[in-house]
Amino acid sequence: MTTTLVDRIWDGWTSPVDEVVEAAEQLLKRRTGAAVTLVDAVDLGGSGSSVVLRVRVAENPFSLPRTLVLKQVREESLNGNEGFRREVVSYQFATSLTAANRPGPELIAHDLDARLLVLSDLGDAPAMGELLARKDEKDVTHSLMALTQALGQMHSNTYGREDDFGALLHRASGSGGADPLFGQVDQALAELPQLLLDRLGVTVLPEIVMTVAAAGRVFGEGGFRAFSTADLCPDNILVNEEGVQFLDYEWGGFRDATLDISYALASFPGCRCALDLSQLQVEAMVESWRAEVVGVFPQLRDDSLLYSRLLEELLVWLWLSTWLHLDKEQPGSHALSVNSREALRRRWRVLANFADSLDAERLEEHALEVLAALQE
C-alpha cells in the first residue's frame, strides 16, 4: 500500500521527500521556463537504491501531465552513476519511439548530476508479479503470454536502431559504455564450477563447461539484436489499460533478443522471484514471443535453431542465478519471492524439463544433479 512520506532513510543516508520534490520542481522550471509546483508525494516503493514517488502537478503552466513519477537513484546503487546514465539513455531512446511502440513510461525530464528522473505516470496498475501469483493456471498462462508477446513487440520495434542508442550513450558518457551485464556473466561462468563443488559437492564435467562458455558468447556477440531492459523482475513490469509496461532501465541496452525470452523462461534469474512453469507454459511463452519477432528475425522460424539456442541460454542464466543467490537465503519482498534455494530448485527443474523435451541428455543430467544437491 502506498503512503504519503515525510522522509526515507537507508543505512544512515537520509533523503527527505521534500528535497526530491524540490529538485524535481527546479528541474521542470529549467525545462519549461516557468515555476512548477508538485504536491502530495506518495511512495511507490522504490528499491533500496532509489526513491520513487508519485506527485500531483498543482501548478501546470505548460500542460504537463496531471501526475508524474519521480525517481532518484543513490550513488551507491549496483551500477552507480554508470547505471543511471544508462537508464537515462534507455528512457531517451524509448521515448523517441512512437507512443504505440514505447515499451514503458515517457521521459519528461532528467538531471544526471542529481540522478533524478521525471517520468509519465502509468497509474495504479498491478505489477506482473501480482498477476503471476494468482491460483488459476489459465490466468497465469495468459499473463505469461502477454509478457512475452510484449517482449517480442519491443524487440521487433527496436530492431535496426542500435546506432541510435549508441549515439545517445556516447553523448551521455563520452564513450560507448561497456555493458555491465557481460562482465557479471563472465565472472559467474568462471567461478561457478568451483562454487558448485565447494557448496553442493557437484563436479561439472568439462563438456558442460565448454557448452556454457560457447553459449556465454551470445551475451556479447548475439546476432538477433534489439533493445532490452534486461531487468525483468515481475515487480518491474506493470500491466495497465495500454498493456504490459516495462520499468527500471539501469541495465538497458542492445543485446541478442533471445536472451530476454530465455530470461523469462528461467523464471527471472536476477531476482528471487520464482514460478513453477509447466512445459506447456514454456512452449506458449516461446511461441507468443516468436510470433512477434519472425518478421525481423526470419531465421527463428527454425525450431531446431531457436530451441537449442534457448536451452543453452537457460543454462547460462541458471549458472548466473546460482552464482548470485546460492548463499542468500532470505527471500525478497515481492509477490513471487521465495528463499534462494527454493528459487534455484524451481529454475533448475525448468532447465531439466526443457533439456528432456529436446533430448539433450548431458544438460538434463547436469541439471538433475544440481537439483538433487539443492534438494538435500
State the average pLDDT over residues 275-279: 90
Rounded Cα distance, 338 and 255, in Å: 29
What residues contact 141, with CB distance under 8 A and at least 6 apart? 280, 281, 284
The widest CA-to-CA distance across the chain, in whole angstroms, is 66
Domains of the chain: 7-120 (3.30.200.20), 128-375 (3.90.1200.10)
User: Rounded to 5 degrees, what are φ and ψ at 39?
Assistant: -135, 175
Rounded Cα distance, 156 and 357, in Å: 28
Q: Is the pLDDT confidence value at 81 over 90?
A: no
* Nearest CA among 131, 141, 128, 142 for reference residue 277: 141
Quote the percentage of the chain above a pLDDT of 70: 90
Strands 225-228 and 253-256: antiparallel
Q: Is the pLDDT confidence value at 7 over 70?
A: no
For the full predicted model, state whether its pTM sits above 0.85: yes
DSSP state of 202: P
Rounded Cα distance, 79 and 250, in Å: 8
User: How many helices (H) and strands (E) in the chain?
Assistant: 13, 11
What residues contact 16, with CB distance under 8 A and at least 6 apart? 6, 7, 8
- Per-residue pLDDT, 14: 45
Show the beta-strand stretches assigned E in the chain.
7-10, 13-16, 37-43, 50-59, 67-73, 107-111, 116-120, 225-228, 237-240, 243-246, 253-256
Please return the burial class of 238, using the count of CB atoms within 10 Å of its CB with bins 0-12, 13-18 and 19+. buried
Dihedral, CA of residue 52, residue 56, residue 59 and residue 61, to nearest 10: 80
Q: Which of 114-118, 195-199, 238-242, 338-342 has the lowest mean pLDDT?
A: 338-342
Query: Is residue 232 a contact partner of residue 260, using CB atoms and an 8 Å limit?
Result: yes
pLDDT band at 1 (very low <50, low <70, confident <90, very high): very low
Rounded Cα distance, 244 and 187, in Å: 32
**pLDDT (tens digit per residue) in 149-182:** 999 999 999 999 999 999 999 888 766 666 778 8
- Per-residue pLDDT, 11: 45
Query: Is residue 145 a contact partner of residue 285, using CB atoms and an 8 Å limit?
Result: yes
Rounded Cα distance, 134 and 276, in Å: 12
Q: Which of 82-96, 207-221, 324-338 has the lowest mean pLDDT?
A: 324-338
Q: Output 369 or 330, whichever has higher pLDDT.
A: 369
What residues contact 194, with CB distance under 8 A and at least 6 apart? none
Q: Which three cell numbers stand for residue 369?
A: 544433479
Q: Which of 255-259, 315-319, 332-336 has the lowest mean pLDDT?
A: 332-336
Q: Is the pLDDT confidence value at 12 over 60?
A: no
User: Rounded to 5 degrees, what are φ and ψ at 45?
Assistant: 75, 55
Query: Is residue 246 a contact partner of residue 300, using CB atoms and an 8 Å limit?
Result: no
